[in-house]
Amino acid sequence: MTSCLPNYRCIVPSLFYYAHLLKRGSFLILVLLGMCSSLAAQVPVTGRVTSGDSAVANATVRVKNESIAVQTDINGAFSILASSAATLIISHVSFISKEVKVTGNAINIELEPSAAQAMNEVVIVGYGTQKKSDVTGAVASVDKKRLENLPNTNFAQALQASVPGLSIDQNSGGAEGNNNTIRIRGRNSITAGTSPLIILDGVPYGGSISDINPSDIESINVLKDASSAAIYGSRGANGVIILTTKKGSRGEPVISYDGFYGIQDISNLPRALTAEEYYQYKITREPNSITTSEQAVYDSKIFPDWVDLVTRQGSKMQHTLGVNGGGGKFRYYVSGTYLDVKGVAVNDDFKRLSTRINLEANIKKWLTLGSNTQLSHNDRSGLPATFADYQGAFRFNPLTTAFNADGSPTIYPWPQDLFFPNPLAPTLANNTDETYKIITNNYLNVEIPFINGLSYRINTGIEFTTRAQNTYFGTNTRTGLQAKGDLTITNSTNKNILIENIVNYNRSFGIHSFSFTGLYSLQTETGRTDNLDATGFPNDVLTFYQANVASSIRPSAGYTKESLLSQMARLNYAYDSKYLLTFTVRRDGFSGFGANNKYAIFPSVAAAWNISSEDFMNDSKVITNLKLRASYGSNGNQAVSAYNTLARLSTRSFVDGATTMPGYIPTSLGNPDLKWETTVGFNAGIDFSLYNGRIQGSLDGYSKRTHDLLLSREISSVHGVSRVLQNIGKTSNKGLELGVNSINIQTANFVWSTNLSISGNRNSIEDVYGDGKSDTLNQYFIGHPIDVNYSYKYGGVWQLTDDLAKAPAGTKAGFAKVVDVNGDGRITPSADRMIIGSRQPNFIYGIGNSFTYKKFSLYAFLQGVQGTSRVNALISDNVQNGVRNNTFYKNYWTPTNPTNEYYANVLGANIFGANIYESDSYARLKDLSLSYNFSSTILSRFKVTRLKIYANARNLLTITNWTGLDPELNSQEDIPLQKEFILGLNISL
């Protein structure tokens, strides 16, 4: 107590007591933790300084024009004596200083990060960290607002549209939502994988994205250019996403609870024909095709609404309890999270229970030991109802019966067409699907004695996953009835082990500074799968526990092993912190490649110039920071799985009487020359910070060329095999990216800030087979993007007034018209098919706007894709012969409705199968959140340091011309995308 400053009075002695325990006699800590107020004859003003959701400790709070000053404690709290009309000045090295008028005796102050903070911010760049001001490559960080208080089931949902140049498309709906296409800077590869490498706490991660608890993630950095990704060499060509989990911070232990609960609803449903419309449609299309059972349903006027039966109002909830703290030599972050999602599809559930223990101990001055460990259990049990394809709910014949008299789902909803099982059948199956996973990263860091700046780090990663799936279809389903019970058991284990030896050497000589990183590593990934299919059971009682009594048992097993052996060296040089150079080279050896090409080398170089550090920039009032960057280098893509270079045979067994005769035939061709595909890229960028950090951003331009594509190429089936994997072809990607953060308005009570990311990429196939010729078969067209729409051009409908003599043979009025592109009077595949747009967007964007008024914050995140088109499968009458399926509402041609929109409801009306394309560009209000932060003065009475409540609406609004289910989803008749509404709470003690 005696060490309190003379004219300050301590008002929370208990805090001093804790501080005392932590660091006895330390003046500094006492000041840090002290909540003090002036003794002068003035009003005591208390308050809290925050930035975003975190408290700002160590900020100086000063009364303007007076000498009275205090510092905030670890919780950002302060108390100061000031006159009622006084102005407080709050300053901190990392934040923009702010002046606030005293109103009342409790005040909360929100600070915005300064440019200095941004530039001193440490960025994780792989195999180490760098100050942002020293970074030479294109490295982007995800806005923290995307990681907090949002209903993210996985980190990809946080990343979507939040980093310029990174595109994420959710391919399918469902509770888990883990089917995403993630691409950084366009698509390099035609058929090989284009997913970026994911690094979790320094370890390349190979598992499912939904196995990582997103609420444990502290930061996400994205390495985009050749130089920054070059440290990951053969796997860097598609970019790198670096996830870093939360670490303990030194100071008072903080206990926190974060939780939310919400509901999910279908965001959009396409309009299928009603039962009455379907009846008419069917009669028109194929007279006499109505069966007696359909007629009976029609006459009864009791129609099942199949889509309604297979969907529901879903829910999502998550609870996270965490403790975070640490002393001088020890830091810890421990959390447990339970997530429970019930999707909008009946029986589509996802549950995840995960715990994380992150520890770091400074054992000796020269020795640090750490561990980042997650244990998790994912439960995907239960099969959702069938949505897609002929047997799915979306196109299910409405003239059918969903339930028996006793309320159980029918086995054959259409008794006269036994092809159709009840779409609800999977919900009757006994199914469990559980995954247990350990992800643990352990490291030891040794500061080598006697050599200043030299350290050695051994970094290990173990990812161990077991998944057990059991399914039994009983005789109350079509599958089970026809097989007398159908059992499938799949057990898989996956083991991913990494050992890295890393040497770091950092030295400065005057104004020259060097840092060197060397790496030698080995990563192996092994997978083993055991599968058992069995059918024919005496009864359903023992579900999937009765394989021993099956009349047919078919086991199978699979095993793969991949190894990657790597060396990497990186050298950074800085001259006076103004001129920066980075050289990187990585050599990788990968088992999956052909015997003749196991190794490859990927070099890169980058340079940067901190212009604002130059003397001539000192006087600039506008520019706070300005940096130019340029990089050039090559990266690889090793998207080949094990054994792909070997000529493999497939099992084709025969039988002699009742004896199995094992048989095999060749179904793939070997390629001992197969190797990495290589992307050589140039990047130029500028980082800027204006008006003392109120506007910050980066602008990057890049050009990449990829050669030796890993092309799974369709070849003439005369080979006996129709596909082969080769290193053949070239692509290019060019693009521009802009990311800007700005504080648009800042007053005492109101702040409006914006986070914008926008990027455009131009993708083009440069060459396919080395002869400069396009490949029509595979639809690879030189000078065009990889995924073009290629078809006959739909030209409307043959009208009664048209001269049908000029139409192709068999054409009648009402048939689809195909544009005769070359005008030869015939429709031929070689001359009349053409490119009609592509799936590649012109640009993608995300805009987050945050409005803070006093304790309220409103956050809106808008995200969009512009310039794509594709076939909408819903606008074709895919009903099978005999009209066995329902279809979606269309403006059909009839003699009295001479439209060109859609041809007549007549069999064979689209002779050439011309596709109708639609724009699937969209803009989506992805998140809209409102939050309220309770005043710390109120909270302190309850010993609570922080309390925030919030509400969020996800996928509230989508603007698009697309008429299908959703422009983002691949299948337009599978589980729909959901809207979510959640209410949440953060509380810290």
Partner 1 sequence: MKLYSKLLLYAISAMLFAGCSKDILNENAPSIILADNLYKNKVGFEAGLNGLYYEVRRSRSGYTAGDINGMMLVPAYIGTDNAYGNYLGPASSFNIWGVSNNSTLGEYRLEWAWLYETINAANTIITRAENTEVVWTEAEKNIVLAEARAIRAWCYRHLTYSWGDVPLILTESSGSDIRTDFDRTPVAEVRNAMEADWLFAERYLPEISANQGKILKGAVQHFLAELYLATAKNDKARDYALKVTTNPNYKLVTARYGANAAKPGTPFTDIFLEGNSNRIQGNTEALWVMQAELNVIGGEPDNVMRRYWVNRYYSLVVGGKSPFLVSADNGGRGIGRFGPTKWALSIYPAGDDRGSDFAWRFSYVINNPGGVPAGYVLGQTYNLDRTSNEKANNPNWPSTRKWDYASPVDPNIDRAYNDQVYIRAAETYLLLAEAYLKLGDQGNAAMAINALRTRAHAPTITSSEVTLDFILDERSRELFSEEERRYTLVRTGKFVERVRLYNVLSKATISDRDALLPIPQNVIDANLTKKMPQNPGY
Within 559-588, which residues bind partner 1 (CB under 8 A)? Answer: 559-561, 563, 565, 567
Residue 873 as a binder of partner 1 (CB under 8 A): the answer is no
Interface with partner 1 (CB under 8 A), residue from 547, 646, 860, 949:
646
Q: How far apart are CA 453 and CA 634, in angstroms?
A: 30
3-state SS string over 761-801?
EEEEEEECCCCCCCECCCCECECCCCCEEEEEEEEEECCCC
Interface with partner 1 (CB under 8 A), residue from 25, 407, 662, 825:
662
Interface with partner 1 (CB under 8 A), residue from 276, 576, 614, 673:
673
Contacts to partner 1 from residues 291-310, by CB under 8 A = 291-293, 295
Residue 805 as a binder of partner 1 (CB under 8 A): the answer is no
Contacts to partner 1 from residues 342-401, by CB under 8 A = none
User: Is residue 350 within 8 Å of 380, Cβ to Cβ?
Assistant: yes
Q: Tell me how far, at minimum, the Cβ of 50 lies from partner 1, in Å.
A: 45
Interface with partner 1 (CB under 8 A), residue from 548, 653, 747, 896:
653
Candidates 630-638, 647-655, 753-761, 969-977: pick the segment binding partner 1 (CB under 8 A): 647-655
Q: How far apart are CA 513 and CA 353, in angstroms?
A: 46
Contacts to partner 1 from residues 586-605, by CB under 8 A = 589-592, 595, 598
Contacts to partner 1 from residues 889-908, by CB under 8 A = 907-908
Residue 652 as a binder of partner 1 (CB under 8 A): the answer is yes
CA nearest to 935, candidates 48, 35, 149, 257: 48
Q: Tell me how far, at minimum, the Cβ of 989 lies from partner 1, in Å.
A: 46
Interface with partner 1 (CB under 8 A), residue from 366, 664, 853, 932:
664
Interface with partner 1 (CB under 8 A), residue from 85, 450, 825, 943:
450
Write out the two tokens for 942: 């309850």
Contacts to partner 1 from residues 182-211, by CB under 8 A = none
Write out the two tokens for 466: 């077991």
Show the binding pattern over residues 829-858: x = contacts partner 1 (CB under 8 A), - = does not: x-----------------------------
**Residues in binding contact with partner 1, number by CB under 8 A:** 107
Residue 812 as a binder of partner 1 (CB under 8 A): the answer is no
User: Is residue 379 within 8 Å of 434, Cβ to Cβ?
Assistant: yes
Residue closer to partner 1 (CB basis): 673 or 901: 673
Collect all residues with Cβ–Cβ distance below 8 Å to 909 and sequence separation of at least 6.
Answer: 812, 814, 815, 816, 903
Using CA of residue 422, residue 423, residue 426, residue 428, what is the dihedral sign?
A: negative
- Please state whether beta strands 197-200 and 240-245 pair in parallel, antiparallel, or not at all (unpaired): parallel
Interface with partner 1 (CB under 8 A), residue from 1, 405, 541, 658:
658
Residue 745 as a binder of partner 1 (CB under 8 A): the answer is no
Residue 448 as a binder of partner 1 (CB under 8 A): the answer is yes
C-alpha pair distances (Å), 919 with each of 466, 840, 900: 42, 11, 18
Candidates 3-11, 175-183, 641-649, 848-856: pick the segment binding partner 1 (CB under 8 A): 641-649
Phi, psi torsion values for 249, nearest 5 degrees: -115, 145
Candidates 153-161, 845-853, 910-918, 928-936: pick the segment binding partner 1 (CB under 8 A): 910-918
Residue closer to partner 1 (CB basis): 716 or 896: 716
SS3 969: coil
Residue 515 as a binder of partner 1 (CB under 8 A): the answer is no
Q: Which helix (H) or strand (E) holds 296?
A: helix 292-300
Q: How far apart are CA 26 and CA 987, in angstroms?
A: 30
SS3 692: helix
Residue 547 as a binder of partner 1 (CB under 8 A): the answer is no
Residue closer to partner 1 (CB basis): 100 or 768: 768
Return the residue matching tokens 């003397």: 615
3-state SS string over 375-390?
EEEEECCCCCCCCCCC
Interface with partner 1 (CB under 8 A), residue from 261, 514, 516, 520:
520
Residue 645 as a binder of partner 1 (CB under 8 A): the answer is yes
Residue closer to partner 1 (CB basis): 657 or 823: 657
Residue closer to partner 1 (CB basis): 440 or 529: 529
Residue 714 as a binder of partner 1 (CB under 8 A): the answer is yes
Q: How far apart are CA 361 and CA 358, in angstroms?
A: 10
Q: Which helix (H) or strand (E) holds 8?
A: strand 8-10
Q: How far apart are CA 624 and CA 687, in angstroms?
A: 11
Residue 536 as a binder of partner 1 (CB under 8 A): the answer is yes
Residues linked to residue 912 through DSSP beta bridges, in sequence order: none
HSE, side-chain direction, 13 A CA sphere, residue 564:
28
Q: How far apart are CA 528 and CA 680, in angstroms?
A: 36
Q: Tell me how far, at minimum, the Cβ of 441 lies from partner 1, in Å.
A: 20
Q: Tell me how far, at minimum, the Cβ of 726 lies from partner 1, in Å.
A: 7
Q: Tell me how far, at minimum, the Cβ of 240 lies from partner 1, in Å.
A: 22
Residue 405 as a binder of partner 1 (CB under 8 A): the answer is no
Q: Tell me how far, at minimum, the Cβ of 486 lies from partner 1, in Å.
A: 11
Write out the two tokens for 326: 């640490």
Residue closer to partner 1 (CB basis): 91 or 524: 524
Q: How far apart are CA 907 and CA 315, in angstroms?
A: 43
Collect all residues with Cβ–Cβ distance below 8 Å to 464 and sequence separation of at least 6.
Answer: 437, 438, 493, 494, 495, 496
SS3 402: coil
Q: 943: alpha, beta or left, given left = phi > 0 and alpha = psi -120 to 50?
A: left
Interface with partner 1 (CB under 8 A), residue from 24, 661, 772, 823:
661
SS3 914: coil
SS3 853: strand
Residue closer to partner 1 (CB basis): 84 or 552: 552
Interface with partner 1 (CB under 8 A), residue from 1, 21, 541, 809:
809
Residue 451 CB burial class (10 angstroms; 0-12, 13-18, ≥19): exposed
> Where do runs of H (alpha helix) occur along 108-245?
115-120, 155-159, 226-229
Contacts to partner 1 from residues 410-429, by CB under 8 A = 415-419
Q: Tell me how far, at minimum, the Cβ of 30 lies from partner 1, in Å.
A: 41
Candidates 604-612, 688-696, 720-728, 978-986: pick the segment binding partner 1 (CB under 8 A): 720-728
Q: Tell me how far, at minimum, the Cβ of 812 lies from partner 1, in Å.
A: 12
User: Is residue 527 within 8 Å of 606, Cβ to Cβ?
Assistant: no
Residue closer to partner 1 (CB basis): 85 or 661: 661
Interface with partner 1 (CB under 8 A), residue from 453, 670, 796, 898:
670
Q: Tell me how far, at minimum, the Cβ of 734 lies from partner 1, in Å.
A: 28
Interface with partner 1 (CB under 8 A), residue from 660, 747, 801, 896:
660
Residue closer to partner 1 (CB basis): 151 or 421: 421
Q: Tell me how far, at minimum, the Cβ of 554 lies from partner 1, in Å.
A: 6
Contacts to partner 1 from residues 751-780, by CB under 8 A = 769, 771, 773, 775-777
Interface with partner 1 (CB under 8 A), residue from 89, 468, 623, 721:
721
Interface with partner 1 (CB under 8 A), residue from 53, 66, 286, 434:
286
Residue 789 as a binder of partner 1 (CB under 8 A): the answer is no
Residue closer to partner 1 (CB basis): 61 or 818: 818
CA nearest to 762, candidates 678, 703, 684: 703
Residue 25 as a binder of partner 1 (CB under 8 A): the answer is no
SS3 957: strand
Write out the two tokens for 357: 């223990």
Kindly write down the DSSP assignment for every residue of 178-208, as one continuous string: --EEEEESS---SSS--PPEEEETTEE--S-
Collect all residues with Cβ–Cβ distance below 8 Å to 615 and sequence separation of at least 6.
Answer: none
Interface with partner 1 (CB under 8 A), residue from 83, 373, 476, 482:
482
